[in-house]
Amino acid sequence: MKPRSYNEAGVNIKAGDEFAEYIASINSPAVARGIGGFASQVPLNLADYIEPVVLTSTDGVGTKLLVARELADWSTVGIDLVAMCVNDLAACGAQPLQFLDYIACGAIDAAVLKSVIAGVIEGCRQAGCVLGGGETAEMPDMYGANEIDLAGFVVGVVEKSQQLPCPEEMRAGDILYGLPSTGIHSNGLSLARKVVATENRTMRQALLVPTKIYVDEAMNLCPGEDVKGAAHITGGGLQGNIRRVIPEHLDVELSWDWPVPDIFTHIYREGVDLSEMRAVFNMGIGFVFVVTAASTGAFETRAKAAGIETLRIGRLRSRWAHG
């Protein structure tokens, strides 16, 4: 029999409306007022800017969602979603202002979606931005009943003179400082989850430790003449992501001597080659600053005063001098 209503076609409008009403009812500084309209707004106080630049970014969580589904734990993937977007802005020196989410699913499961949104709101709180709105799309013909996908979008602002990177000011010998990661973050899960697929729950749960949000650290450390660039370490590992912000004539030289989270040690012991590990995972460093060699003392002093742990992980070198 052909369906004669949206509900018979598999779309529960009532459940979707109730979820939207739930989000609108949340009283939090990290949730914008008036969610539910055709568009969201964010007040702009540009008095402190001479030449403001608006930046945007979008990202998702990837197959980390499969781990969340397997373990029936959706409490952290919302934080991951925010982190993957706002950390990219932070690498440009920008303060995130507003975040938007897109949730696609096969069926509205209120408990799952509320858990996801709670993580998104926590991520926004950590990043100092607000959840301005979003979209929840129930598409039973595209997703299974217990399947969801997430995408996030963020808008931020930075003073043009403080926007990163500044590749033309980078030199061989500039120092690389890393900020520790909380674990695997949200990249390399297609490999990692298969390596630990038969492990106990504790090891698989380690894959769900949320991506660290580095906005506070970046806002404290980037507005200085000594920082010439920053990189959010995502897919492609340390070298691949640092190379995105440095000039072509320079390359990355890493010491590889910092503490590595246990999850990476376990994956390595399961037989993944070290070169593959370094090309895929963050290996314990989630965010990197490029600092002028002559100004490392000032940078370290500023980091210490702000209570930020930084690790000296390498330097830039001439690409041509090393073939």
CA distance 288 to 82: 19
Q: Is 307 left (phi over 0), alpha (psi -120 to 50) or beta?
A: left
Q: What's the average pLDDT block by block, 10 residues per block, for the chain (323 residues)?
A: 77 85 84 80 85 97 96 98 99 97 96 97 98 94 94 97 97 98 97 88 92 98 92 97 98 97 95 97 99 96 97 95 54
The yes-or-no answer to whether 13-39+46-162 and 167-322 have a common fold is: no
Placement of tokens 């993944």 in the chain: 272
| Residues contacting 178, CB < 8 A, separation 6+ | 238, 258, 285, 286, 287, 288, 289, 310, 311, 313
Kind of pairing, strands 148-159 and 285-291?
Answer: unpaired
Give the homologous superfamily in CATH for domain 167-322: PurM-like C-terminal domain (3.90.650.10)
Length of the chain measured in residues: 323
CA distance 138 to 122: 24
Residue 307: how many other CB atoms lie within 10 Å? 9
- Domain boundaries defined on the chain: 13-39+46-162, 167-322
pTM over 0.85: yes
Q: According to the model, what pLDDT value does residue 275 have? A: 97
Q: According to the model, what pLDDT value does residue 5 have? A: 78
Q: Report the b/e string of 131-145 with b at 16+ CB within 10 A.
A: bbbbebebeeeebee
Q: What is the chain's Cα-based Rg? A: 21
The enclosing H or E element of 114 equals: helix 110-127
CA distance 186 to 190: 10
CATH number for the domain whose boundaries are 13-39+46-162: 3.30.1330.10
Instruction: Kindly list the distances between the CA atom of residue 127 and the CA atoms of 62, 85, 91, 130, in Å, as whole numbers in the listed order.
Output: 21, 10, 13, 9
CA distance 281 to 191: 10
Placement of tokens 């000296």 in the chain: 312
Q: According to the model, what pLDDT value does residue 323 have? A: 47
Q: DSSP secondary-structure letter at 29?
A: T
